[in-house]
């Protein structure tokens, strides 16, 4: 077998093409599940998979699988992949590096004359981002059996359109029950992703090997007050939903800052005010709250503190609250054999690699429910992510793809 060579020029051209499927002006990227731009981007990825000689299949929620059969097609596959949806006004690297990079890894392995013993499968997951349906990792969560067909059917998008209607109008009409994969369906799963933090940059290491992923939880709190005229309803009569929400937002920040766990974070990233007029008291406010820690007990303590604060604020201000836990997931841990394969692959490329925990969540969190996993991180300049100036150099991406290809080679040979 000749050496593995990554075609960085071609990969960068594909990154440029994919970035242009966007509803925001460059350099920002907005690519929301099953919008026209996202459907065009999907078509592009499926074409690249087919051009790379992969057999393409899609499931009922729109997860896309590209399969390269090994000598023994009956063996479980060594899988890899990521997502191409992008939150509003974000960057072009989050997720896409792990999809386009996986396809280039397959092409590089083919060019090198490698023949896998077990199949290799590239997966493009549906909606890793929670933008449209409020829940992250919709596709991988479904594969892992953590989002049942009933729960999927109950989901509504930000405009109140049911998931079933949205997926069917995107052309996904299959049986939802068939989307779940049995434990052991895959031999392994490895996701290449940008770090989205600054630890690799600070360490001067081009490769990160992920030993665990922090546990995320998302709460939705709807505060119902009493609306009215901003000039005529005097202050003693007010039940202002937005003023109550402001107190709750600060309580969320306190829960994160007050934790003695170093990875504890708590964020309110979404606030909808109704009716939303300067001369009108807010009668209703919806907040979505993101709470994470690698330490599950610490994450749960923050959730409990925030819930208690919401109840106290509501009682003191005579506000009614509705609270929904959209998700409360467990952390996951890297598998010893998969970690060893990545370590060996990184060493073969002569790259310095450090081991680290992922504070961002990824589809790997759910793949861990059905097979051994880990991730390969490449540096994010200044640690920026979920913003338009997210950047990873072509050299770092190519190195990550090289390590991915060599990792897949090891896993698909075992
Ligand atoms: C994924 O995008 C996350 O929010 O961690
Ligand atoms: Mn993201
Ligand atoms: Mn991502």
Over the stretch 121-134, which tens digit does the pLDDT of each residue have?
999 999 999 999 99
Among all bound ligands, the one having the nearest atom to the CA of 136 is: 1
Q: The CATH number of 8-213+332-412 is which of 1.10.287.130, 3.40.30.10, 3.40.630.10, 3.40.50.300?
A: 3.40.630.10
Over the stretch 339-377, which tens digit does the pLDDT of each residue have?
999 999 999 999 999 999 999 999 999 999 999 999 999
Q: Tally the C-alpha atoms within 13 A of residue 409's C-alpha that lie toward its C-beta.
A: 24
Would you list the domain boundaries of the chain?
Answer: 8-213+332-412, 215-328
Q: How confident is the model at residue 390 (pLDDT cuts 50, 70, 90)?
A: very high
Region 210-217: mean pLDDT is 98
Cβ atoms within 10 Å, residue 231:
7
Instruction: Report which protein residue has its CA nearest ligand 1's atom 2.
Output: 129
Strands (E), 275-401: 280-281, 284-293, 320-328, 332-333, 353-358, 373-378
Q: How confident is the model at residue 308 (pLDDT cuts 50, 70, 90)?
A: very high
Among all bound ligands, the one having the nearest atom to the CA of 195 is: 3
User: With pLDDT > 90 as the criterion, what percentage of the chain qualifies?
Assistant: 99
Instruction: Specify the ligand 1 atom closest to the Cα of 290.
Output: 4
Q: What is the mean pLDDT of the chain?
A: 97
Over the stretch 30-88, which tens digit does the pLDDT of each residue have?
999 999 999 999 999 999 999 999 999 999 999 999 999 999 989 999 999 999 999 99
Q: What is the pTM (predicted TM-score) of this model?
A: 0.96
Q: Is the pLDDT of residue 1 over 80?
A: no
Reported CATH class of domain 215-328: alpha beta
Q: What angle (nearest 5°) sits at the alpha carbon of residue 231, between those of residues 229 and 232?
A: 70
164 C-alpha to ligand 1 centroid (Å) = 24
What is the rounded distance in angstroms from the CA atom of residue 133 to the CA atom of residue 153? 11
Instruction: Report which protein residue has its CA nearest ligand 1's atom 5.
Output: 360
Buried b / exposed e over 364-400, threshold 16 CB at 10 Å, is bbbbbbbbbbbbbbbbbbebbbbebebbbeeebbbbb
Cβ atoms within 10 Å, residue 192:
26
Is the CB–ligand 1 distance for residue 85 below 6 Å? no
Instruction: Report which protein residue has its CA nearest ligand 1's atom 1.
Output: 361
Is the CB–ligand 1 distance for residue 215 below 6 Å? no
Region 190-202: mean pLDDT is 98
Region 99-118: mean pLDDT is 98
Over the stretch 169-181, which tens digit does the pLDDT of each residue have?
999 999 999 999 9
Region 194-215: mean pLDDT is 98
Nearest to 149 by CA among 58, 62, 60: 60
Q: Give burial (CB, 10 Å; 0-12/13-18/19+) of 106.
A: buried
Q: What is the pLDDT of residue 73?
A: 87
Q: Is the pLDDT of residue 2 over 90?
A: no
Region 330-342: mean pLDDT is 98
Residue 56 near residue 66, CB atoms below 8 Å: yes
Over the stretch 218-242, which tens digit does the pLDDT of each residue have?
999 999 999 999 999 999 999 999 9
Residue 160 near residue 133, CB atoms below 8 Å: no
């Amino acid at each position: 077998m000749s050496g593995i060579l990554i075609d960085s020029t071609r990969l960068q051209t594909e990154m440029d093409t994919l970035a242009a499927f966007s509803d925001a002006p460059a350099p920002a990227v907005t690519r929301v599940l099953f919008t026209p731009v996202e459907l065009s981007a999907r078509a592009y990825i499926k074409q690249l998979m087919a051009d790379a000689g992969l057999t393409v299949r899609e499931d009922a929620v729109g997860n896309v699988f590209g399969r390269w059969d090994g000598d023994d097609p009956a063996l479980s596959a060594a899988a890899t992949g990521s997502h191409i949806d992008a939150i509003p006004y974000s960057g072009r690297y989050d997720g896409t590096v792990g999809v386009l990079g996986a396809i280039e890894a397959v092409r590089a392995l083919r060019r090198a004359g490698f023949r896998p013993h077990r199949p290799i499968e590239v997966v493009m997951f549906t909606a890793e981002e929670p933008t449209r349906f409020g829940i992250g990792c919709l596709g991988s969560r479904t594969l892992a059996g953590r989002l049942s067909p009933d729960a999927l059917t109950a989901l509504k998008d930000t405009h109140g359109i049911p998931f079933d209607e949205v997926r069917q109008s995107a052309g996904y009409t299959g049986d939802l029950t068939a989307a779940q994969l049995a434990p052991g369906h895959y031999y392994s799963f490895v996701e290449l992703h940008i770090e989205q933090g600054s630890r690799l940059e600070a360490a001067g290491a081009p490769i990160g090997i992920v030993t665990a992923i922090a546990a995320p939880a998302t709460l939705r709190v709807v505060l119902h007050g009493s609306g009215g005229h901003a000039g005529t309803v005097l202050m003693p009569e007010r039940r202002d939903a937005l003023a109550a929400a402001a107190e709750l937002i600060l309580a969320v920040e306190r829960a994160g800052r007050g934790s003695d766990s170093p990875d504890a974070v708590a964020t309110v990233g979404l606030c909808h005010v109704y009716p939303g007029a300067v001369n009108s008291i807010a009668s209703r406010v919806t907040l979505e709250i993101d709470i994470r820690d690698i330490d599950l007990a610490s994450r749960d303590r923050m959730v409990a503190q925030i819930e208690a604060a919401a109840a106290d604020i509501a009682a003191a201000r005579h506000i009614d609250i509705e609270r929904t836990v959209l998700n409360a997931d467990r952390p996951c841990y890297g598998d010893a054999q998969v970690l060893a394969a990545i370590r060996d692959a990184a060493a073969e490329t002569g790259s310095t690699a450090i081991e680290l925990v992922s504070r961002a969540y990824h589809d790997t969190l759910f793949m861990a429910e059905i097979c051994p996993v880990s991730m390969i991180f490449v540096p994010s300049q200044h640690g920026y992510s979920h913003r338009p100036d997210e950047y990873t150099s072509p050299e770092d991406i190519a190195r990550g793809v090289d390590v991915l290809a060599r990792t897949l080679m090891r896993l698909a040979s075992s």
